[in-house]
Amino acid sequence: MNDIKSRPVTFGMIVGNRGFFPAHLAKSGREDMIAVIEKAGYKVVTVGAEETNCGAITSRGDVALCADLFKRHRGDIDGIIVTLPNFGEERAIADALRQANLDVPVLVQATPDTPGLMTIQDRRDSFCGKMSACNNLKQYGIPYSLTTLHTEAPGSDVFAKDLAWFAAVCRVVRGLRRLRIGSIGARPSAFNTVRYSEKLLEASGISVEPIDLSEILGRIVRMKDSEAEPKLAAIRKYVSTDQVPLEALIKMAKLGTVIDTWMAETEVSISAVQCWTSIEEFFGVVPCTVMSMMSENLMSSACEVDICGVIGMHALQLASGTPSALLDWNNNYGDDPDKAVCFHCSNLPKHFFKSVKMEYQQIIAGTVGRENTYGTCEGLVKASPMSYARFSTNDLEGSIDGYVGEGEFTDDPLTTFGGAGVVKIPHLQTLLRFICENGFEHHVAANMSTVASAVQEATASYLGWNVAIHE
């Protein structure tokens, strides 16, 4: 499984310097940046201060030394920070990145001059050097990211935010490029909206591991009730089950045990599950609680085999470190053009709810009977900032397209069933028109965080997807 969530982010660091600028700035700049990175909880791999002049990269020999170091740590380095305490030797920076060939995100930072320290002894010119470094990276075809301000001191508050943002970019890139998704069951025939191209995903490093629903149910048939006892205990601990028959709970526990085992065996990190209405008709429960528990544990799970939907969930989760949900853009909310109701039956993670209990799926119950639809997680979504994302494979153009944005879950009253909440999004009508004009799905991934910019940067700048950001 993907290990990005189990260890801290590690940055490679390249220190820029140019011979006729003060070397003491490179020395102190290197020390300052290492201290900032480590204080933020990240690790750093960089050339030693004694291995080159002040640990900076300026010559062909320095380039080889840096590239070899980065290659030895290829499996550890999630992104590279280019720090410019002074103008920097732009060609050496680009050469080091090219020779290392790590294909990870790159952040270019430049330290500002101080008005009272502009003599030849203390002048930086990083303001200008950053443009030259970026020019060379563009010539070399190396994608890179920029700080909020053109120059930022390593110890500043604005750089602290940019460092956290860049770490999120790195987690998303690494997490998606090595992603394996479990596709459990076939796409329901009524859901053309969730069709996708495995080949386009594979080109971005995302693999899909399918299993037929009959294989899952067949493994359940062979199970003893005792084998599901640990999962049954976990379900009861996770959500109130007072109104749910024991027979249904045992079925859920068996389903969860089989899925957990299969995911571990096949090393898949997240999943999308067939639901409507095969599991209900032929097994007698909904998989919502099992899926909710996986999402709560940062193993995102989407319904209706919505593979692209669960990729959106996972991207948001990688960026924020918190659980994601998959929702329907479902209803207007009164006459407010910037509000809507987001809803699902539901398999939302417990993290989203004010309070939650297990119930039956009221929509499907009318078709297959209430007794066959226990297992939904029902409650209202709590007020919170939110980010949302949707990706889709565009088979006609051979691309992966998407959109991201931010808004909030509100405390507006809502009387309904399932898992639901009111969202407020600036210029929502513009977003809805964009969704319809471009044929995006009615499903959207949501996360209680503000990470849309990081997800957009990761997917557009480093994966090459066509991802718009709604503002």
Task: Encode pLDDT of 134-191 as tens digits.
Answer: 999 999 999 999 999 999 999 999 999 999 999 999 999 999 999 999 999 999 888 8
Residue 120 carries which DSSP code? T
Angle at the Cα of 143 (from 137 to 149), degrees rounded to 5?
Answer: 80
pTM of the predicted structure, to 2 decimals? 0.96
Asked if 326 contacts 306 with a C-beta cutoff of 8 angstroms, the reply is yes
Verify that 226 and 375 share a domain, yes or no: yes
| 119 confidence band (pLDDT: 50, 70, 90) | confident
What pLDDT score was predicted for residue 117?
80
Choosing from 177, 193, 222, the residue where a domain stops is: 177
Verify that 188 and 156 share a domain, yes or no: no
Verify that 17 and 81 share a domain, yes or no: yes
Asked if the model's pLDDT at residue 5 lies above 80, the reply is no
Find, among 346, 350, 348, 349, the residue nearest to 360 by Cα: 346
Asked if the model's pLDDT at residue 276 lies above 70, the reply is yes
What pLDDT score was predicted for residue 468?
98
Verify that 148 and 199 share a domain, yes or no: no
- Determine the average pLDDT of the residues in 317-337: 98
Verify that 189 and 280 share a domain, yes or no: yes
What pLDDT score was predicted for residue 4?
47
- Determine the average pLDDT of the residues in 14-34: 92
d(CA 240, CA 358): 6
Verify that 254 and 239 share a domain, yes or no: yes
CATH of the domain at 344: 3.20.14
What pLDDT score was predicted for residue 201?
98
| 7 confidence band (pLDDT: 50, 70, 90) | confident
Asked if the model's pLDDT at residue 2 lies above 70, the reply is no
Asked if the model's pLDDT at residue 1 lies above 70, the reply is no
Asked if the model's pLDDT at residue 3 lies above 60, the reply is no
Per-residue three-class SS string for the chain: CCCHHHCCCEEEEEEECCCCCCHHHHHHHHHHHHHHHHHCCCEEEECCCCCCHHHCECCHHHHHHHHHHHHHCCCCCCEEEEEECCCCCHHHHHHHHHHHCCCCCEEEEECCCCCCCCCCCCCCCHHHHHHHHHHHHHHHCCCCEECCCCCCCCCCHHHHHHHHHHHHHHHHHHHHHCCEEEEECCCCCCCHHHCCCHHHHHHCCCEEEEECHHHHHHHHHCCCHHHHHHHHHHHHHHCECCCCCHHHHHHHHHHHHHHHHHHHHHCCCEEEECCCCHHHHHCCCCCHHHHHHHHHCCCCEEECCCHHHHHHHHHHHHHHCCCEEEEEEEEECCCCCCEEEEEECCCCCHHHECCCEEEECHHHHHHHCHHHCEEEEEEEECCEEEEEEEEEEECCCCEEEEEEEEEEECCCCCCCCCEEEEEECCCHHHHHHHHHHCCCCCEEEEECCCCHHHHHHHHHHHCCCEEEEEC
Verify that 165 and 213 share a domain, yes or no: no
What pLDDT score was predicted for residue 451?
98
Domain that holds residue 323: 180-470
Count of the separate structural domains present in the chain: 2
Which is it for strands 399-409 and 270-273: parallel, antiparallel or unpaired? Answer: unpaired
Q: What is the DSSP string of 214-239?
A: HHHHHHHHT--GGGGHHHHHHHHHHS
| Percent of the chain with pLDDT strictly greater than 90 | 93
Q: Which of 110-114, 223-227, 274-278, 375-379 has the lowest mean pLDDT?
A: 274-278
Choosing from 177, 208, 229, the residue where a domain stops is: 177
pLDDT, greater one: 3 or 256: 256
Verify that 248 and 125 share a domain, yes or no: no
Choosing from 177, 205, 229, the residue where a domain stops is: 177
Asked if 410 contacts 382 with a C-beta cutoff of 8 angstroms, the reply is no
- Determine the average pLDDT of the residues in 33-62: 97
| 327 confidence band (pLDDT: 50, 70, 90) | very high
What pLDDT score was predicted for residue 275?
87
Verify that 161 and 200 share a domain, yes or no: no
- Determine the average pLDDT of the residues in 410-439: 97
* Averaged confidence pLDDT in the chain: 96
What pLDDT score was predicted for residue 97?
98
Verify that 224 and 150 share a domain, yes or no: no
Verify that 132 and 273 share a domain, yes or no: no
Which is it for strands 43-46 and 10-15: parallel, antiparallel or unpaired? Answer: parallel
d(CA 226, CA 240): 21
Per-residue tokens: 252:
């859920």
CATH of the domain at 68: 3.40.50.10940
> Which residues are within 8 A (CB) of 413 and not within 5 positions of it... i.e. 6 or more apart?
none
What pLDDT score was predicted for residue 6?
64
Verify that 89 and 34 share a domain, yes or no: yes
